[in-house]
Structure 1
Amino acid sequence: MMTRYQTAINHSNTVPACNRPLIRPLAYHPDSSAYLERLLDQPWAVWLDSGHPFSRHGRFDILSADPISTLITRGATSISQTAEQPPQHSYADPLDLLAELLGPIRAEVPELPFIGGAIGYFGYDLARRWITLPTRAEDADALPELAVGIYDWALIVDHHAQRTVLVGWDVRRLDRWAAQLTAPLAPNQREPFRTLAPAVSNLTATQYQQALARIRDYLIAGDCYQVNFAQCFTAPAVGDAWSAYQRLRACNAAPFGAYLRTPEAAILCSSPERFLQVRGDQVETRPIKGTRPRSSDPLENARLAEALRQSPKDRAENLMIVDLLRNDLGRVCATGSVRVPALFEVEQFARVQHLVSTITGRLAAGRTALDLLRAAFPGGSITGAPKRRAMEIIDELEPQRRGIYCGAIGYLSFDGALDTNIAIRTLVYTPGRVRVWGGGGIVIDSDPDAEYRETYDKVTPLLELLHATNNPT
C-alpha cells in the first residue's frame, strides 16, 4: 500500500508512465557556480560539488533546491514535512523514515549518478541513535543531527562528458527549473561574508597537549588502538555564505565538496574524502589516514609524498582504519566480497597530500544503501578504533560536540544509489558565527607537537579564508 510520503513524491500524473525520469539537456559550463547562483534564494538550495575546474579529481556536480519534502532529526524526534501534509513527528529510526519518504527503488539510469532523491547531511551525533555514548560535551551549535530534503529534480553536470542535463519527475516543475536556470542572472546584492574577529580555538595549545596525554594513557591501557581528536575554531561572522564558499572552492577545491543551505545553517564543505558509495550492489569506501603539506617545489613535494608513503606510523594508522571499515562493510556485504584493492596510495589535493586506501564490497541480498550507512556510521577514519570506545573518549576530551563535522554529506538516489563524504574541511555558518574543525588520528607513538601542527595543516586554507574576510568595522 502506498504511503502518503510516496504519494507526495509521485504527486502528479506527469510522472513518466514507465517510472523513468524526464531528462532535458542544458548548456554545459566548466564551472557550475553560475547555475547555483540562480538557486540561492530557493529553500534548501544544495550543490554537491566535484571541485571542477579547480580540482582534477572532479566529475559530477549535482544541484537542486525546493525539495518536495524534508526530514529533520533532533535527539529522539524526527519531523517530516511535505507541501500536502502537516508536520509528522516520529520516534522511529531516522533512516527508516528516510526509506519511507524515498519509496520503492526505481529503475537506474546508468549515465546519471542521481535521478532525484535525498540530499543533505547526517551529523556525527546522529550515531547516538545506534550507539550509547556519554553526554559530557556541550552541544554548542544545537543543530539537527540529520537534515535532508527529498528532491524530485536535479541538475547533473558531467565534466568528463561535458554534458549538463535536468532530470526530474514532474513536467511542470521541470519547465519551471529549466526557465530559472537559463534566465539572465540578477545582480548580486547580497552582503559579502566577513568575520568580525579572528577565529579562536576551543583548546589552548596546553589543553590540546593535556588531552593527548590523556589519550596516550588510554592507548597504553589498551582501551583503544587509535583516537581521532579535533579542535574547533570559532569566529563571529556576518554576511552571505555564498561569497565565502566561492573563495573556499577557489583556494581549496576538493572532489567531495558541498554547499548546503538549510533553514538553520549554511554548510560550506571542501572534503577530500569519500565515506560510502553504492551503485547497484557495489560498495566502495576510501578512508584517509596520513597527511603531509604540499610544496610548490616538485622535488620537495615528491620527497614529502615518499616520506608519507613510507611512514610506519601513518601506514599503521591507515591500516587500523582499513580493518575497522572492512568489519563495518562485512556487516551488510555478502560473505567473502569485501576486498582492499588499493592500500596506502598517496593522493594530491589542493594544499595537502593524503594516504588513501580503498575498500570494496557487494551488498548482501536484501540489504540496501541505508543498511550500509547505519552499519558504518560514523566513518572510522574520524573516530578511531575500536569505534565505540574511541567515540566515548572523544566525547570526554573534546569540549563541544562535533555536530555536522565528521558526519556525512551526500545523496541517496531514488534508484538506491548512494554517495557521501566525510564532512571534514567544513565551515558551519549559523547566525552570527562560523566554525571550523581540524583533527587527526592519535596513536601510541604520536608526537604531540607534530599532531598539533597537522591539525593546522589541514585547516590552513579555511583559517586563511576567515582571516582574509576579517573586517570588524
Structure 2
Amino acid sequence: MAGHDDDPFALLEQTSTGTWAGWLGYRLGRGLERLPPDGERPVARPPAALARFESVCRCDGEGRWWVEAVDQPHPADVARWQDRLDRPAPTLAWSAGDLVPRPSRPDHVGAVEEAVRRIAAGQLYQANVCLRLETTFMGSPLGLWCEAGARLRPGRAAFVATDEGAVCSLSPEVFLLRHGRRVRSRPVKGTRALTETGRLDLAAAPKDRAEHVMIVDLVRNDLGRVCVPGTVRVARLLEAEALAGVWHLVSTVEGTLARGRGDADLVRACFPPGSVTGAPKVAAEALCCRLEPTAREAYCGAVGLASADHGIELNVAIRTFEVAGGRLWLGVGGGVVADSDGVDEWEECLAKAAPVLAAARLPPWDDPPTPRRGPAVQQEPGEAPAAGPCLETFLVADGFVVEGPARLARFRRSTGLDAGPAVEAAVGGIGAGTWRLRVDEVGGAPAVTVVPAPRPPVLDGGWSEAEVALVCFPGGLGDHKRADRAAVQDLERRVAPFVPVLFDEDGSVLEATWANVFAVIDNRLWTPPLDGRILPGVTRGVVLDEAVDCGVPLRIGRLGVEQLVAADAVLLTSAVAGLVRIRGIQGHRRLEEPHAIVATLARAVSRRWSAAGQRWALRRKML
C-alpha cells in the first residue's frame, strides 16, 4: 500500500515493479491549487488509496482472463488465479438504511441560484454543484457493487477496498486513457431520461450543449499543458450515449503526450476532472467549496490503474458509492451555467441517482421529514390563490420604469403576453414624480392602471421601515403573481398594522405578502430559495446581484423561523417600496439599529437605479 507521505501522482509512474491500482480522492486537488476551506467531513477519508500488485488478473472485455505480471507468471500463480475464478461466487450480504440528501432540496436550489448569479457577475462560466445521499450501512460493500454493477452494467465500473473502507464505482465516464504516447479523455455532460424523446431533447438542448462544450474546451486546455503542441483534437463531439441508466452527451478529446512528460504530469495537469469542476476550473472549485455543505472524498476524483504494459486507465468517480465508518453515501451533481434553474438541477440529480439506486435495490429518495412548525407564532389557515390571471407591478420615477425589462419578462413568463407597448404608452401619458403602474391580464391582453405613489427612500440611498407578524401559510403563494389576492388582502387586514411574513408548515420562512425576505445572520445575507413556493422577485434579484458585486457573503437556502427571529437584521424588498428595514417582529425582539449590510445594499441599489435612469434620460434626449 502507498504510505501517507507518498505522492500518489508520482506513484503512477513507478510501474516497473508492478501495477498500481486504487483511487485518487477529489481533495488531492487542494494540493495543486490554493482553495478555501471545504464543507463538513462526516467520515474523513484519506486523500488516496493506491496499492502495487506484482501480478493481476485482467478480463479483456470478451470474457477472457489474462494474468499480467512483472516477470513471467509462475505456473503456480496461474493455477491460483484459475482456481479462484472457478470457485462459486460467495454470498455477499449487505443492508442499508434510508438515504437522506445533504443539503436538502431548498438549500441545493439556493446553491444553484448563487452559482448562477456569480456566473452572471463574470466570476466564472460554469460550476458543478453537488450534493450527497447518505445512510447507514452493514455488510459487504463488494456485494453492493457486484449486485448494482450486474444490473446497471456501467462502462467504467471499479471496486477498491482497504481496511479503511471501500469505493464502489459505477461510473460511465473515462477520465484518462493512455496507451503508449496517445492520450484520450471522454467528458460527459448533459443528462436526460433514458427514453427516445429524452435522447432527441438532449441532442437539441442549448443549455446542455453549452455546458458540455465548455468542459470539452477545458479538457482540451488541460491536455494541451502536457501534450505535443498541435496534437490535441476533438475526435468526436456532442454524441448522445446511453450511460448508467440515462442519456448523456459525450465527446472524445485526444492528444499525444510530449516527450519528457509522464503519467504524473498528465494526471496533475488534468486533475480534478473538468466535468466535475467547472470553468475556469480553479474558480469553480473555490465556489463549490463554499456552496457544498459536505466535502467530496473519493467522489469526483478518479479510480483505476497504471501499469507498464497497459498504460493508465482512470474513470471519473461519479455514480460512486463510498462505504466507511458504518456509513454509505453517493455523490450526485450537475453543471450549472448562466441559464440554469435550481429546481431543474435538483431534478437532474434525481434523474442521475435513480438508476444507480434502483440497480442497488435502494429506495428512491427525497427530502427527509421536517418539523411541522418552528417557534410558537401566529398561525392562519392561509390558502394560496388558485391558478388564474396574473399581474405585474412597476415603479415609475420621472418617466423611468425601474427594472422595466425584467418585470416585463416576468409578466411574459406568467402570461405569455408582451406588455411592453401598453406600458410604454401608459408611461408616455404621465408626468414627473413617482408612480405605481400595474399591468393585469384581462381577456387575454395586458391592461394598465397608473396611480401616484410615494417616492421610495431607496432611490436616494435610504430605506423605509415596518414591523412584521409571522403567519403560517402552507405551501406559500407560489412563483407567479396572481391577480386574485382576496385571501392575501384578508390576511393583511387581520394582522394590520404588521406586514404578514409567511412561513410553511416545516418552519421555513417564505416571503411577505407583497415582498421578498432577507435576513442578516453573522454578517451574511440569507434569503429563501426559488423552489416554487415564492415569487422570483425582481428587486430580490437586484439585491442579490449587488451583494455579489459588493462582496457581501450570501446564503440562498432554507431560512427557519427560529433563525429569522434571531437575525441581526431583516429586510423586505419589493417593486414599489424598494428596501424596507424591519424594526420589529410581533412577539419577538426589536431591531432598533440598522445593520451596516443594509446600508451597503441600499447605497448599491440606489447607485444602480440612478445610473440606469440617467442612461435612459440620455437616450431619450438623443432621440
Query: TM-score range with shorter-chain normalisation?
Result: 0.7 to 0.9
Distance (Å, rounded) in 1 between the aligned partners of 2:364 and 2:107: 28
Q: Which residue number corresponds to residue 399 of structure 1?
A: 293
Is 1:315 the counterpart of 2:209? The answer is yes
Checking the alignment, whether the CA contact within 8 Å between 1:166 and 1:174 is kept in structure 2 is no
Give the structure-1-normalised TM-score.
0.73
Aligned pair in 2 of structure 1 residues 103, 170: CA closer, same or farther (>3 Å)? Answer: closer
Question: 2:527 maps to what in 1?
Answer: none
1:328 aligns with 2:191: no
Q: In structure 1, what is the Cα distance between the partners aligned to 2:244 and 2:3?
A: 33
Number of equivalences: 363
Structure 2 SS opposite 1:429: strand
CA contact (8 A) 1:238 1:431 kept: no
Give the aligned partner of residue 434 of structure 1: 328
Query: Given the alignment of the two structures, is residue 194 of structure 1 paired with residue 92 of structure 2, yes or no?
Result: no
Question: Which residue of structure 2 lines up, in the alignment, with residue 179 of structure 1?
Answer: 80
2:44 and 2:88 map into 1 onto residues whose CA distance is 34
CA contact (8 A) 2:119 2:125 kept: yes
Structure 1 position 187, deviation (Å): 7.6
* Residue in structure 2 matched with residue 15 of structure 1 by the alignment: none
1:12-411 superposed matches below 5 A: 70-73=1-4, 77-78=5-6, 93-99=7-13, 101-103=14-16, 116-160=18-62, 162-170=63-71, 175-176=76-77, 178-182=79-83, 185=87, 188=90, 190=92, 192-195=93-96, 197-295=97-195, 301=196, 303-411=197-305
* Inter-partner Cα distance in structure 1 for 2:229 and 2:8: 27
1:404–1:294 CA distance, 2 compared to 1 (3 A):
same
Q: Counterpart of 2:474?
A: none
Closer, same or farther: CA 460–381 of 1 in aligned 2, 3 Å? same
Measure the CA separation in 1 of the matches of 2:216 and 2:313. Answer: 19
Contact 1:249 1:270 in 2 (8 A): yes
**1:431 Cα deviation after fit:** 3.1
Distance 1:455 1:174, change over 3 A: farther
Amino acid at match of 1:145: P
Deviation by residue 1:442-464 (Cα, 9 ceiling, x = unmatched): 01101221111110111113333
Q: Decide whether the 8 Å contact of 1:245 with 1:259 is kept in 2.
A: yes
SS of 1:142's partner is: coil
Q: Partner letter of residue 10 of structure 2?
A: D
Partner of 1:56: none
2:39–2:292 contact (8 Å) kept in structure 1: yes
The residue aligned with 1:39 is none
Gaps of 5+ in 1: 1-69, 79-92, 105-115, 296-300
Rounded Cα–Cα distance in structure 1 between residues aligned with 2:185 and 2:12? 22
In the TM superposition, what whole-angstrom CA distance separates every residue of 1:246-284 from its partner, at most 9, and x where no partner exists?
221122111100111112111111101000111111011
Cα deviation code 1:356-387 (max 9, x no counterpart):
01111011111112211010101110000000
Separation in 2 of the partners of 1:258 and 1:174? Answer: 27
Q: Which range moved further: 163-172 or 355-364?
A: 163-172
Kept in 2: contact 1:251–1:461 (CA 8 A): no
Question: Bigger shift: 122-131 or 150-159?
Answer: 150-159
State the distance in 2 between where 1:137 and 1:173 align: 49
Matched, 1:463 2:365: no
TM-score by length of 2: 0.56
**What's the secondary structure of 1:71's corresponding residue?**
coil
SS of equivalent residue, structure 1 residue 365: coil
Which structure has more relative contact order (CA 8 Å, sep 6+)? It is 1
Q: Quote the Cα distance in structure 2 between the aligned partners of 1:384 and 1:350.
A: 22
Give the Cα separation in 1 of the matches to 2:262 and 2:33.
Answer: 20
Change (3 A) 1:94 1:283: same
CA distance in 1, matches of 2:261, 2:110: 44
CA RMSD, Structure 1 to Structure 2 (Å): 2.1
**Match status 1:425 vs 2:325:** no
Task: Report the 3-state secondary structure (helix = DSSP H, G, I; strand = E; otherwise coil) of the residue aligned with 2:58.
Answer: strand
Structure 2 regions of 5+ residues with no counterpart? 366-623
Give the Cα separation in 1 of the matches to 2:304 and 2:108.
31
Q: SS at 1:467's partner residue?
A: coil
The one-letter code sitting in structure 1 at the alignment partner of 2:15 is L
Instruction: Call closer, same or farther: CA 1:169–1:338 in 2, change over 3 Å.
Output: closer
1:381-433, Cα deviation, whole Å (9 max, x unpaired): 00000000100011001011101000000111124711100000000011311
Structure 1 residues 168 and 271: CA distance shift in structure 2, 3 A: same
Any conservation in 2 of the 1:345–1:357 contact (CA below 8 Å)? yes
Deviation at 1:215, TM superposition (A): 0.8
Which structure has the larger Rg?
2
1:334·1:363 contact (CA, 8 Å) conserved in 2?
yes
- SS of 2:43's equivalent? coil
Q: Offset at 1:71?
A: 1.0
Give secondary structure in 1 for the equivalent of 2:253.
Answer: strand
The answer to whether the 8 A contact 2:113-2:341 is kept is no
Q: Give a deviation string over 1:317-338, Cα, whole Å, max 9, x none.
A: 1110011111100100001111
Query: In 1, distance between residues paired with 2:120 and 2:239?
Result: 29
Q: CA deviation at 1:349?
A: 2.3
Shift in Å, 1:242: 2.0
Name the aligned partner's letter for residue 362 of structure 2.
H
Which whole-Å CA distance do the structure 2 matches of 1:257 and 1:181 have between them?
A: 23
The answer on whether the counterparts of 2:174 and 2:186 sit within 8 Å (CA) in structure 1 is yes
